[in-house]
């Protein structure tokens, strides 16, 4: 916070978002970097019996075991590449793993003015931005599995 004259408090407006752009099944997505815990190399998932519709198994990342949110299956996609990656997403229920394509994710800075509403109903999103002619949704990772997209 910035202090304005006469004791008033002025807030600093966020002018740009830091995003991680990645792909799943060749489709482009982005996520706010503050909603991510990291990206790690492919580890074979462990299947578990689950009644939670969005959890398909678990994966060990270092000393941590993370539930897998199967976003690819939810969207009818198949992750591409033999050296896939795990995106570690911060969720209200704890960190979850999302399998992404083996194409290296890229950090992008997008000006706030370039972010538009995302009108798709397939994923919860903070908005979207354009990269050429492609609309890239900015996933709201904390809402994955919510009633919004069941």
Q: What is the pLDDT of residues 48-76, one digit of tens each?
A: 887 777 788 999 988 889 999 989 988 99
Residue 78 makes CB contacts below 8 A (sequence gap 6+) with 25, 72
Whole-number pLDDT of residue 63: 87
Whole-number pLDDT of residue 149: 45
Assigned domain for 4 exists: no
Q: Domain containing 32: what range?
A: 15-149
Q: Of 7-16, 80-89, 118-127, which range is least confident?
A: 7-16
Confidence of residue 4 (pLDDT cuts 50, 70, 90): low
Phi then psi for 59, rounded to 5 degrees? -140, 140
Assigned domain for 127 exists: yes
Q: Helix (H, G, I), strand (E, B), or coil: what is residue 116? A: strand
Whole-number pLDDT of residue 1: 45
Residue 108 belongs to a domain with what CATH number? 2.40.50.180
Assigned domain for 121 exists: yes
Q: What is the pLDDT of residues 75-92, one digit of tens each?
A: 999 999 988 999 999 988
Q: Helix (H, G, I), strand (E, B), or coil: what is residue 114? A: helix
Name the domain count of the chain: 1
């Amino acid at each position: 916070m910035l202090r304005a004259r006469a004791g008033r408090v002025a807030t600093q407006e966020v002018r740009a978002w830091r995003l991680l752009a990645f792909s799943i099944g060749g489709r482009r997505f982005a996520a706010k970097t503050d909603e991510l815990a990291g990206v790690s190399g492919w580890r074979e998932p462990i299947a578990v019996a689950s009644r939670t519709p969005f959890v398909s198994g678990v994966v060990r990342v270092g000393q941590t075991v993370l539930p897998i949110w199967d976003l690819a299956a939810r969207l009818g996609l198949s992750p591409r590449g033999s050296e896939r990656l795990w995106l570690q997403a911060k969720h209200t229920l704890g960190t979850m793993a999302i399998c992404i394509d083996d194409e290296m994710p890229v950090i992008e800075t997008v000006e706030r003015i370039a972010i538009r509403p995302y009108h798709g109903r397939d994923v919860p999103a903070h908005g979207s931005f354009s990269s050429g002619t492609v609309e890239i949704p900015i996933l709201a990772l904390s809402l994955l599995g919510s009633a919004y997209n069941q």
